[in-house]
Amino acid sequence: MTDETAAAFGPLDRRAESQPDPPTAPDRISVRDHVVEVEIGAFQSERDTTQRLSFSVVAEVAPSDGAQTDDVDDILSYDAITEAITAELAAERLNLLETLAERIAERILAEPQPLRVFVRIEKLDRGPGKLGVEIMRVRDGLPVQRDTGTAPDLQVFLLENDVFTDPELPRFLDRLDNDPRAFVLCVGPAHIRCPQATDAMAQRHIDLLEIEQNAWRLSAIDPRCVVVGTRTELDWGMKNNQISVWAPSKLVLDAVGGPGGSDPQVLARWLAEDLGAQGFAVVGQGAYVLKDLP
């Protein structure tokens, strides 16, 4: 732990000794020992179970008139810190505390007041002591404008299996390739018998992998169809006129409050909503269907 981090989280007298004269020392807003129960972790034993995380966040803030106006809008509210924690926990299931800390710090620094933020996250249930990470991040220039997650003019299509052998498929893909809009293709499982498991979670993994196998099948038919599995890959594809084919396992299994089961239409509609798509359609075999798409 650095001296500055120790001072940020330590007793007030430690902080006083480490800071410049009071007229130039920034004020600090803090939330300490904020405990939340959440599913997180890179190990298989940490999946499908929750554990307690303890959050301590200290934000150094620019001078404001809040003390004089007594107006909550003139300060960094404690709620902004706890809401940043809640929002990042709700965004997706994460493996690493480091990733979670980074995202919380970024979200807090997107507020107008913070100059620097310290984030400490500790796992309380993974051993005899606390396992944790501590980071310090500094604002670089103006407040960050966070991505709203909405893709302008994105179209999501769910392709039925008979489209794979449709002679019109290449022309359909030609149209998508030449269209300035963003496109993400979803597929269901192929019509083959796959292993069945008695455990529901194991079967869900198998079902999602069936869908991903079919996504790779489409990619083999036409290399313009690029299989993607992460939000970063999806975002890149939408910005670069790529025809993306969604492999759902990671986003679905990591989603907080995401879709249950593995029904292809439920998954595709959930993805369209999550990405802020402007259109959704199910595409079946037949030139008339391909011709009449939006």
Mean pLDDT of 209-223: 95
When pLDDT is cut at 50, 70 and 90, the band that residue 105 belongs to is: very high
pLDDT digits (tens, 9 = 90+) for 68-79: 666 666 678 888
- How far out from the chain centre does Cα 283 lie? 28
When pLDDT is cut at 50, 70 and 90, the band that residue 266 belongs to is: very high
Distances (CA, A) of 226 to 62, 116, 185, 215, 243: 46, 40, 10, 9, 6
Q: Where are the domains of the chain?
A: 3-138, 154-291
Check residue 9 and give its pLDDT: 66
Q: Is the pLDDT at 163 greater than 60, yes or no?
A: yes
When pLDDT is cut at 50, 70 and 90, the band that residue 12 belongs to is: very low
Check residue 138 and give its pLDDT: 92
> Can you tell me the distance from the alpha carbon of 9 to that of 197, in angstroms, rounded to the nearest whole number?
49
When pLDDT is cut at 50, 70 and 90, the band that residue 173 belongs to is: very high
pTM over 0.85? The answer is: no
Q: Which CATH code is given to the segment(s) 3-138?
A: 3.30.1130.10
CATH class, domain 154-291, is alpha beta
Q: What percent of the chain has pLDDT over 70?
A: 81
Task: Output the six-digit token pair for 169.
Answer: 């498929």
When pLDDT is cut at 50, 70 and 90, the band that residue 188 belongs to is: very high
Judge if 3-138 and 154-291 fold alike in CATH terms: no
Mean pLDDT of 139-158: 66
Question: Do the beta carbons of residue 93 and residue 40 sit within 8 Å?
Answer: yes
> Can you tell me the distance from the alpha carbon of 221 to that of 209, in angstroms, rounded to the nearest whole number?
19
Name the amino acid, one letter, at 166. Answer: D
Question: Do the beta carbons of residue 31 and residue 81 sit within 8 Å?
Answer: yes
